[in-house]
Amino acid sequence: MSNHLGWSCIQLYGGRKYRSLKQRVEAVEVLIAYKEVFSYKELSKRLGIHTSMLCRYAQGLTVPNDENVRKVLNILLSKEAVRELIYRSLSKYGWELSKVLSNHKVLNVLGLYVSNRVLSSLVGSGLKLLISLPGTPALIASLTAIRLGLPVALIPHTTTKHSTDVFSIFDEVSLCKGDYVAVITDVLTTENLNIVREFLDRHELILKCLISVVLVDKEVEKEVGSLTLFDYLIP
């Protein structure tokens, strides 16, 4: 069976009980990640959930009900909230992005955020593949791919003549002319964009979205502004 976003949504979200359980687990994971840089009092004010209840959720003593699950996921996975999580984490780790993105709790939130952005914008679009550079971007792409049921292709972070070689994280990736793809990265620079474009042109793939944690070169925004989806968190 072909692997595309429309079908993966049915697979991942088809069962009501499974969806409910999955979202409860995700809500607790997100809450635990935010608790590292937010106080329960701050989170309570944002979510409208009592601090004692949030504490019980984070400690695994109580499972959140459907209403509170929606509050946590809708509010804490918004772009504004995730951006603040990243900024506070940067402050905590001495403004070193590599340390922030080595925190598996933060990575998990980013994976949820990216997968939600892709789902909300590209559901039913026939997206076939996620593309990433090796290293931290691949971790974010992998977490996203698991939730979307899509394969991940990695391209070397280099501008040498071998820069169009491709290898996959999970199953073998088959690239077909005209396939719709999404690119996930941690830091987007002009150099990275050129590497991605070279790869896409070589394999005649169609870029449907580009999502990055950090946008370094503002000029890049002008170059990719016509994409179906272009998103970044910082600045």
Contact predicate 61/103, CB 8 Å: no
Residue 10: predicted pLDDT: 39
What pTM, to 2 d.p., does this model score?
Answer: 0.83
Residue 106: predicted pLDDT: 96
The pLDDT tens digits for 85-101 are 999 999 999 999 999 99
Average pLDDT of span 40-68? 94
Average pLDDT, the chain: 84
Average pLDDT of span 145-150? 87
Q: DSSP letter string over 140-165?
A: HHHHHHHHHT--EEE--S--STTTT-
Average pLDDT of span 47-59? 95
The pLDDT tens digits for 17-43 are 778 888 899 999 999 999 999 999 999
Domains in the chain, CATH or no CATH each: 16-93 (no CATH), 107-234 (3.40.50.2020)
